Amino acid sequence: MSGAVEVATAEELRTALSGGGKILLTADIDATASFEILADTIFDGGGHTIDGQDQTHLFHGRMVEMTIQNVTLRGGNNQVSDDEHFSQRSGAALRISGGNGTTDGPAQGALTVIDVKFEDNRTKTTGPGDIRGGALYVFNLPDTTISGSTFTGNRGSNGGAIGGLGSSLSIIDSVFAANSTNGAGPGGALEGHGGAISLDAVSQNAQTAYLNICGSRFDGNEARNGGGAIYLVTHAWTGTEVTIDQSLFIGQRTTSDSEGQGGAIFLMDDDKHEQPDNPVANRAQISNTTFNDNEVYNRGGGVWFWTNDGRLDVRNVTFADNRTREADGMGGALAISNGPATVSHCTFADNHAQFHGGGIQMSGTAVVTMTNTLFSNN
What is residue 1's predicted lDDT score, i.e. its pLDDT? Answer: 81
Q: Could you give the angle at the alpha carbon of 28 between the alpha carbons of 24 and 29, nearest 5°?
A: 95
pLDDT tens for 48-89 read 999 999 999 999 999 999 999 999 999 999 999 999 999 999
Mean pLDDT calculated for residue range 108-122: 98
Residue 129 has pLDDT above 90, yes or no: no
What is residue 94's predicted lDDT score, i.e. its pLDDT? Answer: 98
Residue 184 has pLDDT above 90, yes or no: no
Residue 369 has pLDDT above 90, yes or no: yes
pLDDT tens for 212-262 read 999 999 999 999 999 999 999 999 999 999 999 999 999 999 999 999 999
What is residue 84's predicted lDDT score, i.e. its pLDDT? Answer: 93
Query: 102 Cβ partners below 8 Å, 6+ apart?
Result: none
What is residue 61's predicted lDDT score, i.e. its pLDDT? Answer: 98
Compute how many other C-beta atoms are within 10 angstroms of the C-beta atom of residue 369. 10
Q: Rounded to two decimals, what is the model's pTM?
A: 0.98
Mean pLDDT calculated for residue range 83-112: 96
Q: What are phi and psi of 330, to 5 degrees?
A: -130, 145
Residue 315 has pLDDT above 90, yes or no: yes
Cα(52)–Cα(29) distance, integer angstroms: 9
What is residue 75's predicted lDDT score, i.e. its pLDDT? Answer: 98
What is residue 27's predicted lDDT score, i.e. its pLDDT? Answer: 98
Cα(361)–Cα(303) distance, integer angstroms: 11
What is residue 128's predicted lDDT score, i.e. its pLDDT? Answer: 85
What is residue 173's predicted lDDT score, i.e. its pLDDT? Answer: 98
Q: Are 191 and 184 in contact (CB under 8 A)?
A: yes
